[in-house]
Structures are given as C-alpha cells and as structure tokens.
Amino acid sequence: MKQNILSISLVAASLLLVTTGAVAHHSVSAEFDANKPLEFSGGVVKMVEWTNPHIYVQVEVKDQAGKVTMYRVEGGAPNSLFRQGWRRDSLKPGQLVNFKGTRAKNPASPNVNGRLTLPDGKVVWQGNAPTY
C-alpha cells in the first residue's frame, strides 16, 4: 500500500513539473502579431505589476473621440529589468507614457508588447519583441 502511494505521488509530481515548464513562458510571436502595429502617446499609467515571468504596465489611453482603452504593456522579466536599474518605483501611477509596438493576436486581449517611453524620450523598458 505504501509502495502504491509513493508511486502515485512521484508520477503526480513529475507531471506537475513537466506541465509547469510548458506553460511558464511563451515566444513573442506566439502571442503578438507583428502585422498589428500600435502606437500611442500620452497614455496614463494606472498600475505596474511586477510579476514573473513578465512585468505588466496597465496604461489608459483616450482616443480623439474620448473613448478609453486600457492596455497591458508586457515588459521583460523582473530580474532582467532590475539588473538594468529599474525598480518598483521607477514608473508610477499617473505618469504619462508613449508606446510603440504590436498588439496581441487575440483581438479581445488588452496585451501589447513593445517599447514604453516617457514624454522626454527616455526608454522605460523594451518588451520582448524586436526593437521598435
């Protein structure tokens, strides 16, 4: 009986390890479409999510008609950005940002990937996509 429980536990643990690695990361081209460019300026940072495997910045953008769209800008890994000198308070809610990059393949997704810059041109961070 103990042998069966141990065997089942080992198989279950192995399956968890294998499936966790498979969904933990994605390629940029798997989620984002280079044929769907997006560019905006004057977006307002609403929230910065320092989470693994990517940091996300929620940015509110108003178009000329006043329609508000909330985008989730995918950034690099927290550790990578930290090594580049960025900290949790490097980008704060209320700051204005500009963006140039691509949209998600899923039209219902608010996720975008590219470069965030401050109004003075300083690059806040580059997503995982090619340089824009």
- The pLDDT averaged over each successive group of 10 residues in the chain (132 residues) is 62 54 58 90 94 92 94 89 85 94 92 90 68 51
pLDDT of residue 75: 85
pLDDT of residue 77: 86
pLDDT of residue 20: 43
User: Which residue(s) pair with 125 in the sheet?
Assistant: 116
Q: Residue 78 belongs to what H/E stretch?
A: helix 78-83
Token code pair at residue 35:
């044929």
Are 111 and 33 a contacting pair, CB within 8 Å?
Answer: no
CATH number of 28-126: 2.40.50
Strands, DSSP E only, in the chain?
A: 32-50, 55-62, 68-74, 96-104, 111-117, 123-126
Are 92 and 45 a contacting pair, CB within 8 Å?
Answer: yes
Residue spans of the domains in the chain: they are: 28-126
pLDDT of residue 76: 83
Token code pair at residue 101:
């990059």
Token code pair at residue 79:
């550790």
Considering the entire predicted model, what is its pTM? 0.73
pLDDT of residue 4: 66
pLDDT of residue 59: 97
